[in-house]
Structure 1
Amino acid sequence: MDLSLAAAKRLLKLNELEELRNDAYESSRFYKEKTKKRHDQHIRNKSFKVGDKVLLFNSRLRLFPGKLKSKWSDPFVVSKTTPYGSFELDADGNKFMVNCHRLKHYFSRKKLVSLNI
């Protein structure tokens, strides 16, 4: 048994293992970039202006969901916007901040009739 030969083989195996680990990290990084790019393509930018009417998503409805109950709350009015996607809503004098991902535009029936929808 030659110890120098065994040490050289062991060092070679460690280098191979390090190369495999680096390849796995690189593959993982490519996969994450690709999935992030695909996810970001499906995100729609929502833009609301002060005075717009919006519906608020009620995320707490999951506990007792009604079969036909809407998950969107009554229309609110946007009273303030921030550059990072949060909006201040006004509900009968009560103001609160909400993330834009929980909002969608509200179109009244009168507006839809005038648009011929």
Structure 2
Amino acid sequence: MEMESVGRCQKLDIQELEEIRNDAYENALVYKEKMKEFHDKLITRKQFSIGQKVLLYDSTLKIFTVEIQSEETQKCFKVNGQRLKPFYENFQTHTIEEIDLEEPRT
């Protein structure tokens, strides 16, 4: 008689563990979806036009491919679009005034 009650108790415990595991799995999916939405909001959408000069940095990833053409060699190649920045030709530097600080008098 005890074997049957112990067996039923173990069966209930296993079912309860299964439910807890399923709940944890569903919670993990919800968390991943929310984090993906949050991350996608932070991605900046860049608009480039044909003929626009761009700067390319660290183009090892090939996720969002964009075809660009080199100005010197006229070769076309595909790069990751997230690794492009607009190039500003007439970027002017500003002069900075330097002020020497003196030691306080005692």
Q: TM-score range by the shorter chain?
A: 0.7 to 0.9
Larger Rg: 2
5+ residue gaps in structure 1? 61-83
Unpaired runs of 5+ residues, structure 2, are 93-106
Identity of aligned residues (%): 40
Residue 67 of structure 2 aligns to a residue in which SS? strand
The structure with more strand, counted as a fraction of residues: 1
Within the candidate set 60, 78, 87, 1:97 is matched to 78
What whole-Å deviation, never above 9, does each CA across 1:63-105 have from its counterpart, x for those lacking one?
A: xxxxxxxxxxxxxxxxxxxxx9422222122221111011011
Q: Which residue is 1:51 aligned to?
A: 51
CA RMSD of aligned residues (A): 2.1
Q: Which residue of 1 aligns with 2:89?
A: 108
Aligned residue pairs, count: 88
Q: Distance in 2 between matches of 1:104 and 1:43?
A: 14
- 1:1-117 equivalent positions in 2, closer than 5 A: 2-58=2-58, 85-91=64-70, 92=72, 93-109=74-90
TM-score (norm 1): 0.67
The ranges of structure 1 where at least 4 consecutive aligned residues each deviate by more than 6 angstroms after the TM superposition are none
User: Which string of whole-angstrom CA distances, capped at 9 and with x for unpartnered residues, describes residues 29-88 of structure 1?
Assistant: 11101110110110011111211110001368xxxxxxxxxxxxxxxxxxxxxxx94222
